[in-house]
Amino acid sequence: MKLLQTLLVLFMGVTGLFAQDVAVSGTVTDEDGNPLEGASVYVAEISVGTTTDASGHYELLLKQGKHIVQFSYIGFSPVARPITLGASGMTIDVSLQASMSLDEVVIVSGSKKAEKITSSPATVVTISPRQINEYAGNPAELLARKKGIDYFRAGIATPAFNIRGFNSNFNSKNLQVADGRISSLIATGLPMGPLTTTVKEDIEQIEVVLGPNATLYGPNAHNGLLNTITKDPRRYEGTTIATNLGVNSDGNGYYSGRLRFAKKLSDKWAFKATGEYTKATEFIYADSVYIDRDLDGIKEGYPEYDLDNDVKFFKTEASAYYSPTEGTDLIATYGHSNSTYLSPTNVGRNQIIDWRISFYQLRFKTRNFFAQAYYTTSKTDDTYSIDERTKQYYRGIDAGLSEEEASGDFSYASAAKFVDDSKRWNAEVQYSNTLFDDKLEFVTGLQWQLDMANSKGSYLLDEGGDIEVNQLGGYLHLDYDFGSGFRGIAATRIDNHEIYGTNVIPKFGVLKEFDKGTLRFTYGQGIAAPTILNMYGNLFSGLILGNSDGFTLTDGTVIPAQGVEKVDTYEIGYRGSLTPKLYGDFNAYYNINKDFLSPVTVIGVATHRGDTPIEEVQSGYAFYNGLVATYINFGRVNTYGADLSLTYSISPKWSATANYSYFDYSFDENDSDNDFNNDGNVDFLDFLINSPTNKIGAGINYSGDKFFGGMFGRWVEEYNYFSSYQIASETLPGYTYRGTPIVENARSTDSFNYGPLGGFVTFDLNFGYHFNKNFTLSFAATNLFNTEMREFTAAPPTGGLYVLEAKLNLD
């Protein structure tokens, strides 16, 4: 017993739980030495903070060890000071500048702990609280202004992004996270995007990691990661009422009303609640659906049947914060959304109808320990494929049914509906600390996930009930300070998945820190995992089947079960101040991509799926006779590129930004494993990179005491795009796609080819006025001059959208 007590005391000492609180104090002033009353002083990793008094003085009690203390004041650039606090305490006096400097931003996404963005081993871009607050439109639009991001608008309701190639109309390679909670759909793995429950007024910061970060976040943090961080009600108290009125270039209206209430009830309790209702009408557009209605087999294009352009969103969240002691938080959150809109897919558009997302999350945080558990549900009863419903409707008409009969239940009879009643459990524990006189920082943790997918038999092999899939991952991230500004990082993750097995995911790096920036060299691996749809899909009466168990073909060929796709990334970058007024962020990378997760492809006539005879799996066996399309792994391709961004502080209120991104790829034309489409040639149609080679953006911003505004322009180089049924390409003599010659402004096999994406210059404008500390009126225009451009397939050309926002803040 005595030995156990001794070990416990030693452990408690190592973790710092017995360390005494010591004082950090000082003053916060402006450039002229005038005290700033009400400036925020905050330590993010323990959610502890205070504000300065009338003389600009502050005092915080913190435990000994490493901290990052953030100083901020409205209209001034934030300052972040990494400190190592000893027994005697510390005095930190800070002078804030009224400018737009970026090098003091604190992030959490790069290493799963608070760190200055200049010190992070990952390439991270951020959207700041000021940018969100001063932008009248959807804050996702601000991603278009960042380097390294392929941003596109697939209509009013569906802004989206991609990173470093391999985009598609069904892209699950970018992980979406909100407050540490995975925010992706359970069955498809797609980011929730418009289905999110968070309202704009509750977003504190958006962080985007460019490239893989799978060691800390697991599968599908493959090409990138988007992390949304919401506001702490203890720092952001008050009531905010916001409303938007807008119109698009077609004359269709847009309305949004939002509410946020946050209150610190006592030293221990705080609460916040949010709500949103948004209603709009989508851009006028009807996609072509090709239907064989003639005996000679000629297909003709018909507009999408019974198209509904209404867009509706209802969102709400509520959180209770309990702090039994300072620096320790217990946070309970509930969120819900109900969404109706049009969503592009590989086979045309889906009519999303009353798709409901709910989650329940419980988080526990101290300085060294974090734990969370959350439960997510996804439900829809009436969502359907517009393409398939249109085809079925005309089948009914051709069979002699009346309009009423063909448009009713019959129009959904060929599996057009996508029902979802899926659930997911997640749990995570994480511990972080320092060793060896604070030279070694480490973060370690475990993550568990249980997916319970259920489509009610509409698109999954789930007639027997939920498809349950377990996965467990453990990670360790080490950061060692060698001195003289040199740091080394090493991380690894071991991930075990019930279906596709165990994977080890490493990351290494060397960093050199200078006074105002950091040079970094890193290697990291990412994996993209097959989704439940990839593994257990059952579409169009079994023509498309998931590949969790492999297939045996009639000639005896065995098609292996689909496994993970891997990317090895080598990267060099620098982020920091180049001069007192010029801030730069540069990176170059080289990726080795292998074992691709293919789009759906016909593999031939199968006799078995795994050990099960195909006639017992394929409900349409009498028609298809075992002909199967599924998902496989194939090939290897190298991708490479560079991103650079410059921000210049013209004056304390004016700043200018410019960014440029380059992306390209290469592959071995003699490697038969790269011949995905089995046409005997290895070419670009096997890999479907789907990314512009060059992108340029530039803008100017003003942020004053009353007036604020900005103008941003971007040029996206023209590029060809292929995604299953969808095609957007210039005429390519001698090439075919899905059996049809590639000709611009002509029919492809199953869709219409309007020509390449990109190839445009467009401008966005925003400006506003703070009438007083309570009321702000602002305006945002995306595609200001209504430039004709096409940003995505199975989606309308994105014209102008013009939005006026009124915001009332009550203390």
Q: Please, which residues have CB within 8 angstroms of residue 611's CB and are 6 or more apart in sequence?
A: 549
d(CA 67, CA 432): 13
Q: Which helix (H) or strand (E) holds 390?
A: helix 386-398
Buried b (16+ CB within 10 A) or exposed e, 438-477: eeebbbebebebbbbbbbeebbbbbeeeebebebbbebeb
Within 10 angstroms of residue 806's Cβ, the number of other Cβ atoms is 15
DSSP class of residue 15 equals H
- Triad 500, 505, 511: Cα angle to 5°: 165
**Secondary structure of residue 145 in the 3-state scheme:** helix
> What is the pTM for the complete model shown?
0.91
**Secondary structure of residue 225 in the 3-state scheme:** strand
Spatial contact of 569 and 525, defined as CB atoms under 8 Å apart: yes
- Triad 167, 171, 173: Cα angle to 5°: 90
**CA-wise closest residue to 220 among 252, 261, 192, 200:** 192
Give me the domains of the chain, ranges plus CATH numbers: 2-98 (2.60.40.1120), 123-383+418-719+757-810 (2.40.170.20)
Q: Which helix (H) or strand (E) holds 243?
A: strand 238-248
- Six token digits for residue 616: 């017992």
Q: What pLDDT is recorded for position 295?
A: 59
**Which residue spans within 650-739 are E strands per DSSP?**
654-666, 694-703, 707-716, 721-723, 726-728, 736-737
Phi, psi of 145 (to 5 degrees): -95, 5
How many CA atoms lie within 13 Å of 513's alpha carbon, on the beta-carbon side? 18
- Six token digits for residue 290: 């090709």
CA 156 to chain CA centroid, nearest Å: 18
Helix, strand counts (H, E) of the chain: 7, 55
d(CA 279, CA 373): 33
Phi-psi region of 758 (alpha: psi -120 to 50; beta: other; left: phi over 0): left
d(CA 334, CA 473): 25
Pairing mode of beta strands 123-127, 203-210 = antiparallel
Mean pLDDT for back-to-back runs of 10 residues, the chain (811 residues)? 41 46 87 83 82 86 85 80 85 79 77 85 90 92 94 88 89 90 93 95 94 85 90 94 96 96 94 98 92 73 93 98 91 98 92 98 93 97 95 92 94 91 97 90 95 94 91 96 95 92 94 92 92 91 92 93 93 92 94 89 92 93 92 93 94 91 94 85 88 97 91 97 93 93 94 95 97 95 93 92 96 80
d(CA 24, CA 86): 10
Q: What pLDDT is recorded for position 15?
A: 43
d(CA 572, CA 215): 18
d(CA 725, CA 540): 15
Spatial contact of 282 and 155, defined as CB atoms under 8 Å apart: yes
- From residue 496, alpha-carbon distances to 219, 504, 523, 564 in Å are 10, 9, 22, 12
d(CA 350, CA 364): 39
Longest dimension (CA), the chain: 91
Spatial contact of 49 and 71, defined as CB atoms under 8 Å apart: no
Provide the residue type at 422 as one letter.
S
Spatial contact of 698 and 644, defined as CB atoms under 8 Å apart: no
d(CA 264, CA 12): 31
Spatial contact of 724 and 600, defined as CB atoms under 8 Å apart: yes
Pairing mode of beta strands 746-747, 565-577 = unpaired
- From residue 564, alpha-carbon distances to 188, 616, 638 in Å are 15, 27, 17
- From residue 649, alpha-carbon distances to 100, 114, 327 in Å are 6, 26, 36
Length of the chain: 811
d(CA 186, CA 378): 7
**Secondary structure of residue 534 in the 3-state scheme:** helix
d(CA 650, CA 648): 6
Pairing mode of beta strands 90-91, 21-29 = parallel
d(CA 795, CA 663): 24
**Secondary structure of residue 490 in the 3-state scheme:** strand
